[in-house]
Amino acid sequence: MPRFTATISFDLETEVEPEGVRFDRWLPNGVTELEDESYFQRTEVRSDGGNVTCVIEADTQEDAESIASEIISEGNEVEDDNGLTWIIYNPSWDLEEIEEPMTLELAKKILAGLVVNTEGERGPEAVEFIFGYIEGLDRRVNDLVAQVARLTEGTGAIGRAERFVATGDTEVLTEGLPEASDGGDETTA
């Protein structure tokens, strides 16, 4: 299923009305009579800068936008840490499909879909045949790489033989080889 990166930008608004503002609580010395006739009106507060990013799995970009709008949409209410309730307004969604890295399996799926739409009944069979052949070649290449690795391990024997010819030292012929046992007791003469 396709995956999309969704970046959702939005603003918040709320209304505040100061309540419980009292000036008689901390009067300086010498002030005895304070009459507070303050009246604070409700004020609308707007704040921009909302920005949320997430990854959404959906069949189409339209489906992804629909899911993103469930996360943040016009008129939704959210509460902040101060206990104020804010209304979301002016949301916008920017969606970008995440490209999957191409794999043999994904290529097979894509090509099979193309062939089904253009080549009729034998198209999928042809795709399976070609990919089976490619997979067989891949196994053969891996087997050959393993054989080359085993052969290069044997070049140590060639190097020992060359040193024997150059020096006449028979001990170089057994360097790095496990000690052989004839199954009998070892005796010295």
3-state SS class at 150? helix
CA–CA gap between residue 77 and residue 15 (Å, rounded): 13
Task: Compute the radius of gyration of the chain from its Cα atoms.
Answer: 40
Residue 9 in this model has a pLDDT that exceeds 90 = yes
Q: How confident is the model at residue 189 (pLDDT cuts 50, 70, 90)?
A: very low
**pLDDT at residue 135, rounded to an integer:** 87
21-42 pLDDT, tens digit each: 777 667 778 877 777 777 888 8
**pLDDT at residue 72, rounded to an integer:** 92
What backbone torsions phi and psi does residue 45 show, to the nearest 5 degrees? -120, 130
3-state SS class at 134? helix
55-71 pLDDT, tens digit each: 999 999 999 999 999 99
CA–CA gap between residue 166 and residue 147 (Å, rounded): 29
Mean pLDDT across 176-185:
59
**pLDDT at residue 186, rounded to an integer:** 52
**pLDDT at residue 144, rounded to an integer:** 87
Rounded alpha-carbon distances, angstroms, from residue 38 to 16, 21, 27, 183: 16, 9, 16, 111
**pLDDT at residue 154, rounded to an integer:** 60
106-145 pLDDT, tens digit each: 887 787 777 766 656 777 777 788 888 888 888 998 888 8
Domain residue spans of the chain: 3-15+41-98, 101-177
Residue scoring higher pLDDT (49 or 130): 49
For residue 10, count other CB atoms closer than 10 A to its CB: 20
CA–CA gap between residue 46 and residue 67 (Å, rounded): 26
CA–CA gap between residue 92 and residue 179 (Å, rounded): 76
Q: Which amino acid is at 152?
A: T
Look at the pTM and tell me if it is higher than 0.75: no
Residue scoring higher pLDDT (76 or 172): 76
- Percent of the chain, pLDDT > 90? 34
